[in-house]
Chain A
Amino acid sequence: DTGVSQDPRHKITKRGQNVTFRCDPISEHNRLYWYRQTLGQGPEFLTYFQNEAQLEKSRLLSDRFSAERPKGSFSTLEIQRTEQGDSAMYLCASSTGPEAFFGQGTRLTVV
């Protein structure tokens, strides 16, 4: 499968713990995006990388959230001191052209 890969698919964590998600984009896609989707809502933009440079961050991305894309390949999204409100599906997407291709997401449940 040469699509966008996300790991893990599911994560259950206790409130206050840190979690890290990984995204492997489609090979040679220079743009990478993170979105968050909650039940009954469309995906909401979190952040965007072009190669290794983080070019845009949403106001939704609080100080507890950090994303990296070392060497312009895979990306990680870390959430520190998780809260129940962080429970959501975290989607990664990549692109070279106008349309973005999404991974299957990581579903985070904070208990």
Chain B
Amino acid sequence: AQSVAQPEDQVNVAEGNPLTVKCTYSVSGNPYLFWYVQYPNRGLQFLLKYITGDNLVKGSYGFEAEFNKSQTSFHLKKPSALVSDSALYFCAVRDAPRLRLTGGGNKLTFGTGTQLKVEL
């Protein structure tokens, strides 16, 4: 079974400071990892993904995430936070597809979310 842990319910950061939102995962095979952001009363917006290759992946709005296989982590980072980054962030994982014909393993498993609050 696949799972995701986001150990912090809330992260508070001053505008202009770097931010980190933590995520650890568990899958049986190779992971596909994702970060999504959710603003109030809105659906989830895709930020970035790790499939393979470089451990540091860059995404939308200046966000990046670092894949660490030994620590099974995929922390979200941004060098300089903005007040407009305040939102709910979700980490998600799925097993890399092994059953191409049947489409098995496509479901995403999400963490419980981390509320990011960026203050002036």
Contacts and interface: CB of A to CB of B under 8 A. Distances in A.
Interface of A: 4, 6, 31, 33, 35, 40-45, 48, 50, 55-56, 58, 91, 93, 95, 98-105
Interface of B: 4, 32, 34, 36, 41-46, 49, 51, 90, 92, 94, 102-104, 106-113
Contacts of B45: 102
Contacts of B90: 42-43
Given A4-B43, A40-B113, A99-B46, 19 more contacts: A41-B113, A42-B4, A42-B90, A42-B112, A43-B44, A43-B108, A45-B107, A48-B103, A55-B104, A91-B43, A91-B44, A98-B49, A98-B51, A99-B49, A102-B43, A102-B45, A104-B43, A105-B42, A105-B43
A98 B31 CA distance: 11
Contacts of A91: 43-44
Contacts of A58: 107
Nearest to B106: A48
B110 A42 contact: yes
Main secondary structure of the interface of A (DSSP, over half): strand
A104 to B, nearest CB: 4
Given A98-B49, A99-B34, A103-B43, A40 B102 contact: no
Contacts of B111: 42
Nearest to B109: A45
Nearest to B47: A99
